[in-house]
Amino acid sequence: MTGLRGVRQVGSAKGAAAGARPGREGTRGHHTGRERGHGRAAALGLDRAADQRGSQALELALLLPVVALLLVVLAVVALAVAELVAVQSLARDAARAAAAGADPVEVVTEAGRGDAEVLVDPPAAGSEAGEVVRVELAVPLRAPAVLGLEHHAPAVATMPVEP
Amino acid sequence: MKLLGRAGVRERGAIERGAVGLTTVAVVLGGTVLAGAVALGAADVGLAHARAGTAADAAALAGVGVDPLVGGSGEHCAAATSLAEANGAVLEDCAVTRDAVGAQPVRVAVRVAVTPRSAPLAAALGPVSAEAVGGLAVAEEPDLRPEASD
């Protein structure tokens, strides 16, 4: 850099108008070379930035299905949770019906759960004070079936026989 | 030297790109695990609440069902305790109220508690409780007064 400046100064100190030109041309020519270098670096930088953008887009494209699958799994879990609570409430209703002398299977069927297994103990409820009736349900959950999973939700409720 | 330098820059860039990818994966997986844990915790608490509601209803009904008015032993809270335990709950409170002139001569109010199955959740939140009130309804007495005639 220092040498370059010296050359330019010498060129301009010769006084002639024409004498200044070679210096300028030389300088211009040298600058052109440097600009070429800068251009290459800039091009490399642009290429690198484009590469990074491309790789990030690729990573996103690879991650998106995984994220979508995880979101679906979470939604299924949430739906299964709501279903489990509903099944527990259904077991209570069925046990209340059995304790009152009604048919618990009918209660379960009316709730749209005809595919549930219903176990009543004792099968024929008495009418004495202090007796209890126990209803056990095994209901196939619908939410996990979306993912091809089969799971039965158990729910148990015990109620006193209503005299 | 320049070539090596460029290669170094490229390697560093690759490492940085990889780091970005790893960070994204870690954030996504961490968020999913966290959301899953929250969902399972909510499920556990929701189920415990449902079971507590069932146990409270059963305990209140059992307490009323043993009243001497309906031929029972009169041990309201003992019966309530038995039904609460049969539904996987613990009877925390039991109160029997008698009202000779009201529509319900006997009222049994109970509070039961159910512990969530997850030990960390049970330690953090404690048991889930539910309340219920059972009462005996008095049948309306028939009106035996003679009807007014014209």
**Dist CA B133 CA B76 (whole Å):** 12
Kindly report, residue by residue over A17-68, the tens digit of the pLDDT: 444 444 444 444 444 555 555 556 555 565 666 666 677 777 778 778 888 8
Confidence of residue A151 (pLDDT cuts 50, 70, 90): confident
CB A94 within 8 A of CB A138: no
Question: What is residue B110's predicted lDDT score, i.e. its pLDDT?
Answer: 96
HSE, CB side, 13 Å, CA atoms: give it for residue A75: 9
Residues of chain B with C-beta less than 8 angstroms from the C-beta of A56: 17, 20
B65 burial level (CB within 10 Å; 0-12, 13-18, 19+): buried
Residues of chain B with C-beta less than 8 angstroms from the C-beta of A80: 43
Question: What is residue B146's predicted lDDT score, i.e. its pLDDT?
Answer: 57
Q: Name the strands in the sheet holding A132-140, side by side, starting at the edge strand that comes first in the sequence.
A: A117-121, A132-140, A152-160
DSSP B108-138: EEEEEEE--SSHHHHHHH--EEEEEEEEPPP
For A82, the closest chain B residue by CA position comes to: B43
Query: In 3D, which of A73, A101, A84 has the Cα closest to residue A139?
Result: A84
Question: What is residue A57's predicted lDDT score, i.e. its pLDDT?
Answer: 76
Q: Choosing among A52, A132, A162, which should be mutated to test the B contact, i.e. which has the most B CBs within 10 A? A: A132
Share above pLDDT 90 across residues of chain B, in percent, rounded to a whole number: 37
Higher pLDDT, B144 or A119: A119
Question: What is residue B52's predicted lDDT score, i.e. its pLDDT?
Answer: 95
Q: Choosing among A59, A63, A161, which should be mutated to test the B contact, i.e. which has the most B CBs within 10 A? A: A59
Query: In 3D, which of A15, A28, A159 has the Cα closest to residue A96?
Result: A159
Residues of chain A with C-beta less than 8 angstroms from the C-beta of B77: none
Confidence of residue B13 (pLDDT cuts 50, 70, 90): low
Per-domain residue ranges of chain B: 2-135
Question: What is residue B148's predicted lDDT score, i.e. its pLDDT?
Answer: 56
What's the rounded mean pLDDT across residues B16-22? Answer: 59
Higher pLDDT, B93 or B35: B93
Kindly report, residue by residue over A99-133, the tens digit of the pLDDT: 888 889 999 999 998 889 999 988 776 666 678 89
Residues of chain B with C-beta less than 8 angstroms from the C-beta of A129: 65-66, 70-73
Question: What is residue B122's predicted lDDT score, i.e. its pLDDT?
Answer: 87
The sign of the torsion formed by the CA atoms of A25, A27, A31, A34 equals: positive
Q: Does B17 touch chain A (CB under 8 A)?
A: yes
Residues of chain B with C-beta less than 8 angstroms from the C-beta of A60: 24
Which two structure tokens, joined as six digits, stand for B17? 């790109």
B7 burial level (CB within 10 Å; 0-12, 13-18, 19+): exposed
Question: What is residue A146's predicted lDDT score, i.e. its pLDDT?
Answer: 76
Residues B119, B112, A86: CA angle, nearest 5 degrees: 75
Kindly report, residue by residue over B59-76, the tens digit of the pLDDT: 999 999 888 888 888 899
CB contact under 8 A, B54 and A88: yes
Q: Does B43 touch chain A (CB under 8 A)?
A: yes
Complex ipTM more than 0.85, yes or no: no
pLDDT over 50 at A13, yes or no: no
Q: Which amino acid is at A27?
A: T
Which of A131-135, B13-17, B51-55, B65-69 has the lowest average pLDDT? B13-17
CB B11 within 8 A of CB B90: no
pLDDT over 80 at B97, yes or no: yes
HSE, CB side, 13 Å, CA atoms: give it for residue A107: 21
Which of A12-21, A51-60, A149-158 has the lowest average pLDDT? A12-21
Question: What is residue A26's predicted lDDT score, i.e. its pLDDT?
Answer: 43
Q: Is B2 left (phi over 0), alpha (psi -120 to 50) or beta?
A: alpha
Q: Does B133 touch chain A (CB under 8 A)?
A: no
Question: What is residue A1's predicted lDDT score, i.e. its pLDDT?
Answer: 38
pLDDT over 90 at B80, yes or no: yes
Confidence of residue A93 (pLDDT cuts 50, 70, 90): very high
The sign of the torsion formed by the CA atoms of A80, A81, A83, A84 equals: positive
Question: What is residue A161's predicted lDDT score, i.e. its pLDDT?
Answer: 87
Q: Does A40 touch chain B (CB under 8 A)?
A: no
When the pLDDT of each residue in chain B is averaged and rounded to a whole number, the result is 81
Beta-bridged to residue B66, according to DSSP, are none
**Dist CA B87 CA A114 (whole Å):** 24
